[in-house]
Structure 1
Amino acid sequence: MIFCKTGELIIRSLEHTDKKFLVKWLSDSKVLEYYEGRDNIYDENMVEKKFYTSSKKTRCIIEYLDEPIGYIQFYRIGEEQYEEYGYTDIHSIIYGTDQFIGEIKYWEQGIGTMLMKEIIRFLVTEMDVQKIVLDPQSRNKRAIACYEKSGFKKIKILANHELHEGDLQDCWLMQYNNL
């Protein structure tokens, strides 16, 4: 299923034949520096377990110029995240996203910003989402700049939020607000 298609960019459902791309990307130390960790190199079994088991997340491949270049998932956040993020008094539909561009030759070309603007458009217009959140590590300056260019705002630091390469990392709670 194609969720979004704009010019050169397509966001489509993850297929079993995409496993080879995920294994490639998640064994690249440059990708793993910010996504999963360089001490967590994926093989086929790990990819199968993490990306091909049932989940409430919608898992997708990002294609650019008809080439698979990355991964994105989106999902309605759960009650635990409502509380953790401080949304206990909010009763709107809030979705989270996680994504990475796995083909590093496509980094620094504005594709991430194009991707985020397209997923925002899709979630807001097709899924009636009022808020979209993500939580990049605070040291991931490139991703944070991309998200800010896409309309996300920094809300608060989530201290010691993510275990990455043996250390707890601070993350920014970032939000796109459609209210």
Structure 2
Amino acid sequence: MPDDEDTMSSATELLNIFGAEQGHLQRLVRRITGSTHTAEDVVHETFIKLMNRDVGKRDVGLVVTTARNLARDAMRAERVRLSYAESISRDQLQPSVVCPEDEVASRMDLHSLLRALETLPRRTKRIFLLSKIDGMTYPQIARSLNISVSTVEKEMISALEFCRNWRRRRENI
């Protein structure tokens, strides 16, 4: 089991690798993703992912491979998001005429949901509201909260699952 000194040495070595390779990593990831912001997020996520690993001077390849794999993961996630967005029909995007009774019922449901959201962890609720109410993208949310896009995605999955469960409970009443 590594002691604190080995851990510090590994962390220092990882910092040294990132100091020397950060520009190269960002260029590599930018070529894969086509986005400077995504490249910054992926390089940051690479550092976090390897932070608790035993990394030495010879592990530059591990850092590059990890960044490349995370960039590919980011691209796959983006393709899934785009595919979902494209699958939404025009009818789903068109505003519909709502009778007053339905509007009142919808407002009551919204207030009930907002009260229920108060039970979520603070960051999860904030990410959900930034996305759904403020219309921010995941990269925008990640930058504003100083977290990775991956973290935003995981928190949104949690929040959306919470909403699905809330809806199921309401429908069973």
The TM-score, its normalising length taken from structure 2, stands at 0.28
The TM-score, its normalising length taken from structure 1, stands at 0.27
Structure showing greater radius of gyration is 2
Give the structure with the larger helix fraction.
Answer: 2
